[in-house]
Chains A and B, each alone.
Chain A
Amino acid sequence: MSADIKFDQILDAKGLACPLPILKTKKAVESLSKDQVLKVETTDPGSKNDMASWAKRTGNEILKVEEGSGTFTFFIKKKG
């Protein structure tokens, strides 16, 4: 499934708690060019809602969220 989505950078935020996954995601997205995609992996169960809120507020787009066993994978497209 995730094979469909191409990404330009990957961020491993596994094992990190609030607010670090968001802070690191913000930093990583800043380093991308517009329309590039960041793949973020987290284990913080709060990150699912947090990431959605962050994206809504910053205008970046979450293309896809995958839930594994205790992990969350987000594909985030930097706003144009």
Chain B
Amino acid sequence: MGKTKMTIIASKGSLDMAYPPLILATTAAAMDVDVTIFFTFYGLDIIKKGNADKLKISPIGNPAMPMPVPIPTLVGSLPGMEALATAMMKSMFNKHGVASIGQLLDLAKESGVKLIACQMTMDVMGVKQSDIVDGVEFGGAATWLDQASDAQINLFI
């Protein structure tokens, strides 16, 4: 039996949505799976230098967001609410022994997870290759499709 292969497209750049790709990638690597993550659109924020632990979460448009008291949407849009929600979520993660996004990204690199940044979305959003953390390759749809064609697990997050 050949090595299992997995690819993940990480397209979101909020604190909560940065977790699933990195949790699955690091765990898969620990299970001897060959993993590639393709970062595109807002997912690029996860791999911008010094940005992994600065991702935020917005209380707006997410009725499931746990808040100490129910926050009306209008109040959620006030200045400072995003920072409050982010700080609250980070402290919840921390309290429950969950690794930070930066830690998971380091663990992913350490365990040989292949990281690819989408060059097209970088160009559109004005992200330079030098803005991206070391150890990342650059490519486009064909690069992902090449990897995905050999993979048993392909996820879009």
Contact = CB atoms under 8 A, between A and B. Distances in A.
Interface of A: 15-20, 22-23, 25-26, 44, 53-54, 57-58
- Residue with the highest number of chain A CB atoms closer than 10 Å, among B30, B96, B107: B30
Nearest to A27: B30
24 contacts: A15-B97, A16-B97, A17-B96, A17-B97, A18-B23, A19-B26, A19-B30, A19-B99, A20-B97, A20-B98, A22-B27, A22-B30, A23-B26, A23-B111, A26-B31, A26-B111, A53-B31, A54-B30, A54-B31, A57-B32, A57-B33, A58-B30, A58-B31, A58-B32
Given A18-B23, A19-B23, A26 B97 contact: no
A15 B93 CA distance: 12
Contact of B107 (A23, A53, A54): A23
B2 to A, nearest CB: 14
Contacts of A22: 27, 30-31
A26 to B, nearest CB: 4
A20 B30 contact: no
Interface of B: 4, 23, 26-27, 30-33, 96-99, 107, 111
A38 to B, nearest CB: 14
Contacts, number: 40
Nearest to A30: B30
Contacts of B99: 19-20
Nearest to A20: B99
Contacts of A15: 97
Nearest to A16: B97
A17 to B, nearest CB: 4
Contacts of B27: 18-19, 22-23, 54
Contacts of A18: 23, 27, 98
Contacts of B111: 23, 26
A23 B30 contact: yes
A22 B30 CA distance: 7
